[in-house]
Amino acid sequence: MTPCRLLITGGTGSFGKKFVETVLKQQPHVERVVIFSRDELKQFDMAQTFPASKYPQLRFFIGDVRDRERLMRAMEGIDTVVHAAALKQVPTAEYNPFECIKTNVLGAENVIEASLASGVRRVVALSTDKAAAPINLYGATKLCSDKLFVAANNIRGRHNIRFSVVRYGNVMGSRGSVIPFFMDKRKTGSLPITDPRMTRFNITLEEGVEMVMHALEHSLGGEIFVPKIPSYRINDVAEAIAPGCEKPVVGIRAGEKIHEEMVTETDALQTITTDKHYIIVPMLHLKDQQKVMVEYCLKHKGTPVPEGFSYNSGRNTEWLSVDQIRALIREHVDPSFNVT
């Protein structure tokens, strides 16, 4: 992936910072990197990590994806957009539904329209496993966002632009995720377990960035890229972090699933498998869907998944052990982590 002029919405979040760090490391001569986000303090803090004296190509834009005019101003001269801005806390979305819709759905449409109007060439939007067969509002808004970005390829006309989506599971160590929560709670001697049967997919920030880089480089337009990643059991995470703590079962929160899914059995009808990914192929031309599947299989060197396939964290074939979880925490979350 060789972006020359890049904009990332939600650029001060966990993903955004790692993505910018990676781009600056791999593409030191990138012409411009625009960080578009709402929080001036987070932008100030990020500017200390990436000072202008060393990274003159960085630009910080205060703005909200709800504001299409501000997005269009920020996208002037931009050729590549990564859309990472979202309201993603499940309980918050349930309590403030339309605020979530404004950002995750209307904001997505604003990114699409601004990209089309500004001469952008490539757009990748971040999704979530909660968008597959959603049962909470956050997941429903992200499914709607996914549909908007996939369908945007139908209205590009003569614009030389490709829209695609990357969908993955829980990011290890990200804000609000279970690992930092458990690491903080272990000092109390008690780790609350929602349900001992609960499983989740696991991906590192670095792997998430790699997925987006891959989509930017290889997308034909309209794909939903899903990584082949391991699952973990919530009890194993608790054991890895604090084996001596009590683990009371407190029940799942509203809108939570026991297992997450990234490719549903219905999605499987238009899904191909490659070495590292599943790719949900767009149904752009319903009469020629078989032809479209062949085209995307050739492009991505993949084959259709078998009938009845689904990709579910509880039925995964790859699992993280307690020792592997501890090693990943030391590598990606806290190098000083020890079991005490």
Catalytic residues, by residue number, are 130
What residues have CB less than 8 Å from 109, skipping those under 6 apart? Answer: 148
Q: CA dist 239 to 129, 170, 173, 258, 259, Å?
A: 24, 18, 16, 18, 19
Is 57 in contact with 83 (CB distance < 8 Å)?
Answer: no
* Residue 61 contacts residue 36 (beta carbons within 8 Å): yes
Cα separation of 109 and 145, whole Å?
8
Q: How far is the C-alpha of 81 from the C-alpha of 120, rounded, in Å?
A: 7
Distance between CA 134 and CA 143 in Å, rounded?
8
Instruction: Report the distance separating Cα 78 and Cα 317, nearest Å.
Output: 41
Long-range Cβ contact pairs of 55-61 (< 8 A, separation 24 or more): 55/24, 57/24, 57/30, 57/31, 57/32, 57/33, 58/20, 58/33, 59/32, 59/33, 59/34, 59/35, 60/34, 60/35, 61/34, 61/35, 61/36, 61/37
Query: Which residues, 6+ apart, have CB-to-CB distance to 97 below 8 Å?
Result: 137
Residues 6 or more apart whose CB falls under 8 angstroms from that of 254 comprise 90, 91, 94, 136
Measured CA to CA, the distance from residue 190 to residue 185 in angstroms comes to 7
Residue 38's nearest CA partner among 5, 71, 6 is 71
